[in-house]
Chains A and B, each alone.
Chain A
Amino acid sequence: MKAFAAVVYVCLASVTGFALFHITYKVEQLEAQLSQLNKEILLEQNTVHVLKAEWSFLSRPERIDELSRKMLPGLHPLQTRQIGDLDSLPTRDIDFGGVGGVQQSAAPLAPYRPVSARSGSARTASARSVSPQATE
């Protein structure tokens, strides 16, 4: 009886010991991993920080102003007459009878057709799409 108890105790002790060491090593390994990940996160955060500063530098109004003058010669500062509100739009009689009526109301947008299928040149097509006044 005594011998049996001793064997049980020794077994328990060794199992506990093994588990303890196993867990300790596992924890150390995870700690190392955590520390590595934290380091990487910090590095990434630093990179994001630098990129934010760079974004601010690249998107400064002075540069955008200059670039838009150079690259978008057709674009001008907003004129007062280009601004309107919903009330100033002329009303139009639209038949909303049924579901199909909604689609009818979207008539001004011509369905897309590939350039090759059109009789006109691609140039006029793009010119028309940027200036809606010209089409009306």
Chain B
Amino acid sequence: MLGRLRRGRRTIRPRRHIKPAFAQPCTPIRRDERNDVALETGRTRLLISGTVLILGFAVVGVRLVNIALFQDALEPRAAHAPHASELRMGRADIVDRNGEILATTLQTASLFANPRKILDADEAAHLLVSTLPGLREAEIAAKLKSNRGFVWLKRNLSPRQQWDIIKLGIPGVEFQSAETRVYPHGPLAAHVLGYVDIDNKGLAGVEKSFDTALRSNAAPIALTMDVRLQHLLRIELMAAMSTHRAIGATGIILDARHGDVMAMTSLPDFDPNAQGRASDNQRFNRATLGVYELGSTFKIFTTAMALDYGVVSMEDGYDATKPIRVSRFTIRDYHAKKRWLSVPEIFMYSSNIGSAKMARDVGGDAQREFLSQLGLLSPAPIELPEVGTPLTPKPWRPINTMTIGYGHGLAVSPLQLAVGVSSVVNGGILNRPTLIHRQPESEASNPPPRGDRVMSEETSQDLRRLMRLVVAKGTGGKAAAPGYLVGGKTGTAEKARRQGYNRRSLISSFVGAFPMTDPRYVVLVVLDEPQGTTKTHGFATGGWVAAPVVSRIVEHAAPLLGVGPTDEQAPAVLRQLDIELKPEGRRLASY
């Protein structure tokens, strides 16, 4: 091809008398048709191949410039330059609603030795023990003298200890770094947070239910809890537990409008930093996993149900003169008045007879329907793996309808009760309880799901007045926190044993809400097997042992929650919450 081209070139400009180095003096070349055709062919071939070559080089050139100037210059360097965007730990933090760290992952160093490299085992052991007082010198010396290549000396050193050991400069002693899950608040929110195993895998609580998210995301998970409220709830429950020698206690503070769990405690608790030493009793989450017959607090639901279905009105009432006998059961009143009681009186004196009759008149099917709407017949939809399934009677006989009317025969978790009560007081909307805090900025684009209406606003308003009445004039007087308009209901249930109920072991509770004009928070306190003291005149009922705890919690929590005190005697408040009792009732209520 090249030869042809050259020949062609030579023939293109025959008359210019260019003198090729090797050519003879120029001689005119004959032109004919055949030569012209060959010339044209050569010319076209030259043009095509030239264009192809230029295009090829142009592509290479453009790509070269592109790579050298415009490509991500960091890419090839990433291998040897550590990226300093954000520190990534193997497991994301868990924080409370204000960003306070509840669980975090720290790099810790563990100390090991290679005994074959140790020069003087006794001296090394002496030095190590002087730095780490927890170790025993003889044991360490024996380990360092052994003939192995690797012995653990101490796991999870603090940074300071690690530095001290580096300063000692003992040859053969080395560190291995690992990540450790740390709970700075110790047992404060143990049951909600849960704990992890030695490989940082979530085994309980939020650590388990959000295990995948915590492993894959760098962003912390924010809980709805508030450490200050949690602390308040915990110390008040601990104080009540030790005063009344109770075997356990549970407390919940719930946002009545959104279902946010602000604080949740189950006692006895444990330190998740040392979860291996916790007993099963300590690990047991009484707030969500435990199911209990919670007694008279259920009268809130019975009364709401009867009022909402229009079976009774606030002016109606029942005869509570005599105990009811149904087959082998007898339903008695604890605070027996032995007379006709109006609906508000049944509620404020916590009459079992009245509530049982009310439930009977509503009927079993309607009752089951109502309770299931309130979420009391299915496990609580909370983001924890430890959720108890309610114990419901099978079959649901008329006697069950009556006993459930005053809170026996149906066992639910304290959280379910708190959620149910929050829907009763917040205007009749059932909100799903949640532990995961919704950031205010995401609220606008992603509004929280609206709850379902479970009863009319009028019923909710009636129940607010009834619950306020219990604290103002009834069995829950000790729950009053002046200025915060606490309303609520006491509950005292005998614990079931194999045969019937045990009169000596009680579950005493109080569920309250404040301020009753427009309830914002629900507070539930449950004490397991409290004992009466001389101060409570030997009583261990909800009104005596749990109500005062609620009072103290409300008094201290309200300022933290931004709820200001109101004048309880203000005309507007009284108009909204006061209940006109029947003349007879008023006389009896005065003592």
Indicate, yes or no, whether A interacts with B.
yes
Residue A37 interfacial (CB < 8 Å): yes
Question: What residues of A have a CB within 8 angstroms of the CB of B102 in the complex?
Answer: 56
Q: How far is the CA of A39 from the CA of B80 in the complex (A)?
A: 11
Residue A35 interfacial (CB < 8 Å): yes
Residue in chain B with minimal CB distance to A80? B483
Residue A123 interfacial (CB < 8 Å): no
Q: Known: A31-B81, A80-B483. Is A52-B104 also a contact (CB below 8 A)?
A: yes
- CB A89 to nearest CB in B, in angstroms, measures 14
Residue in chain A with minimal CB distance to B556? A77
Question: What residues of A have a CB within 8 angstroms of the CB of B11 in the complex?
Answer: none
Residue B186 interfacial (CB < 8 Å): yes
- CB B21 to nearest CB in A, in angstroms, measures 16
Q: How far is the CA of A53 from the CA of B93 in the complex (A)?
A: 10
Are the CB atoms of A49 and B565 closer together than 8 Å?
no
Question: What residues of B have a CB within 8 angstroms of the CB of A41 in the complex?
Answer: 84
- The contact string, 1 if C-beta is below 8 Å from chain A, for chain B 550-581, is 00000110010000110000000000000000
- CB B181 to nearest CB in A, in angstroms, measures 11
Residue in chain A with minimal CB distance to B74? A34
Are the CB atoms of A52 and B101 closer together than 8 Å?
yes
Question: What residues of B have a CB within 8 angstroms of the CB of A35 in the complex?
Answer: 80-82
Question: What residues of B have a CB within 8 angstroms of the CB of A62 in the complex?
Answer: 185-186, 188, 231, 235
Q: Known: A35-B80, A78-B556. Is A60-B89 also a contact (CB below 8 A)?
A: no
| Partner pick for B481 among A39, A53, A80, CB 8 A cutoff | A80
Question: What residues of A have a CB within 8 angstroms of the CB of B159 in the complex?
Answer: 50
Q: Known: A38-B81, A53-B184, A56-B185. Is A78-B235 also a contact (CB below 8 A)?
A: no
Residue A83 interfacial (CB < 8 Å): yes
- The contact string, 1 if C-beta is below 8 Å from chain B, for chain A 49-83, is 11011101101111001000000000001101001
Which chain A residues numbered 23 to 45 have a C-beta less than 8 Å away from chain B?
Answer: 31, 34-35, 37-39, 41-42, 45
| Number of residues on chain A facing chain B (CB within 8 A) | 27
Are the CB atoms of B556 and A38 closer together than 8 Å?
no
Residue B106 interfacial (CB < 8 Å): yes
Question: What residues of B have a CB within 8 angstroms of the CB of A78 in the complex?
Answer: 556, 559
Are the CB atoms of A42 and B106 closer together than 8 Å?
no
Question: What residues of B have a CB within 8 angstroms of the CB of A50 in the complex?
Answer: 106-107, 159
Are the CB atoms of A65 and B81 closer together than 8 Å?
no
| Partner pick for B104 among A34, A37, A56, A80, CB 8 A cutoff | A56
Question: What residues of B have a CB within 8 angstroms of the CB of A60 in the complex?
Answer: 184-186, 188, 227, 231
Which chain A residues numbered 84 to 128 have a C-beta less than 8 Å away from chain B?
Answer: 85
Q: How far is the CA of A65 from the CA of B87 in the complex (A)?
A: 33
Residue in chain B with minimal CB distance to A58? B184
Question: What residues of A have a CB within 8 angstroms of the CB of B104 in the complex?
Answer: 49, 52-53, 56
How many A-B Cβ pairs are below 8 Å?
80
Q: Known: A35-B82, A80-B481, A80-B565. Is A46-B107 also a contact (CB below 8 A)?
A: yes
Question: What residues of A have a CB within 8 angstroms of the CB of B81 in the complex?
Answer: 31, 34-35, 38
Q: How far is the CA of A103 from the CA of B562 in the complex (A)?
A: 33
Q: How far is the CA of A77 from the CA of B552 in the complex (A)?
A: 11
Question: What residues of B have a CB within 8 angstroms of the CB of A37 in the complex?
Answer: 84
Interface centre among B159, B188, B565 (most CB of A within 10 A): B565
Interface centre among A59, A61, A77, A78 (most CB of B within 10 A): A61
Question: What residues of A have a CB within 8 angstroms of the CB of B80 in the complex?
Answer: 31, 35
Are the CB atoms of B185 and A65 closer together than 8 Å?
no
Residue B349 interfacial (CB < 8 Å): no
| Number of residues on chain B facing chain A (CB within 8 A) | 36
Question: What residues of A have a CB within 8 angstroms of the CB of B87 in the complex?
Answer: 42, 45-46, 49
Residue B397 interfacial (CB < 8 Å): no
Which chain B residues numbered 179 to 194 have a C-beta less than 8 Å away from chain A?
Answer: 182, 184-186, 188
Are the CB atoms of A65 and B101 closer together than 8 Å?
no
Question: What residues of B have a CB within 8 angstroms of the CB of A31 in the complex?
Answer: 77, 80-81
Q: How far is the CA of A53 from the CA of B80 in the complex (A)?
A: 30
Question: What residues of B have a CB within 8 angstroms of the CB of A65 in the complex?
Answer: 231, 235
Are the CB atoms of A49 and B482 closer together than 8 Å?
no
Residue B83 interfacial (CB < 8 Å): yes
Q: How far is the CA of A60 from the CA of B107 in the complex (A)?
A: 21
Q: How far is the CA of A22 from the CA of B182 in the complex (A)?
A: 50
Residue B100 interfacial (CB < 8 Å): yes
Residue B406 interfacial (CB < 8 Å): no
- The contact string, 1 if C-beta is below 8 Å from chain A, for chain B 232-243, is 100100000000
- CB B426 to nearest CB in A, in angstroms, measures 24
Q: Known: A31-B81, A37-B84, A42-B87. Is A80-B228 also a contact (CB below 8 A)?
A: no
Q: How far is the CA of A68 from the CA of B312 in the complex (A)?
A: 53
Are the CB atoms of A61 and B231 closer together than 8 Å?
yes
Are the CB atoms of B186 and A49 closer together than 8 Å?
no
Are the CB atoms of A56 and B82 closer together than 8 Å?
no
Q: How far is the CA of A117 from the CA of B559 in the complex (A)?
A: 41
Residue B484 interfacial (CB < 8 Å): yes
Q: How far is the CA of A52 from the CA of B87 in the complex (A)?
A: 13
Question: What residues of A have a CB within 8 angstroms of the CB of B89 in the complex?
Answer: 49
- CB B19 to nearest CB in A, in angstroms, measures 18
Question: What residues of A have a CB within 8 angstroms of the CB of B235 in the complex?
Answer: 62, 65
Q: How far is the CA of A60 from the CA of B86 in the complex (A)?
A: 26
Residue in chain A with minimal CB distance to B95? A56
Q: How far is the CA of A75 from the CA of B78 in the complex (A)?
A: 56
Q: How far is the CA of A61 from the CA of B263 in the complex (A)?
A: 14
Question: What residues of A have a CB within 8 angstroms of the CB of B182 in the complex?
Answer: 53
Question: What residues of A have a CB within 8 angstroms of the CB of B84 in the complex?
Answer: 37-39, 41-42, 45
Which chain B residues numbered 71 to 123 have a C-beta less than 8 Å away from chain A?
Answer: 77, 80-84, 86-87, 89, 100-102, 104, 106-107
Shortest Cβ-Cβ A-B pairs, 9 listed: A61-B231, A57-B184, A38-B84, A41-B84, A56-B101, A45-B87, A56-B184, A35-B81, A80-B483
Q: Other than A46-B87, A60-B184, A60-B185, give 20 A-B pairs with Cβ distance below 8 A.
A: A31-B80, A34-B81, A35-B82, A37-B84, A38-B82, A41-B84, A42-B82, A42-B84, A42-B87, A49-B89, A50-B107, A50-B159, A53-B184, A56-B184, A59-B100, A61-B231, A61-B232, A80-B482, A80-B555, A83-B564
Q: Enumerate chain B interface residues (CB-CB to A < 8 A).
A: 77, 80-84, 86-87, 89, 100-102, 104, 106-107, 159, 182, 184-186, 188, 227-228, 230-232, 235, 481-484, 555-556, 559, 564-565
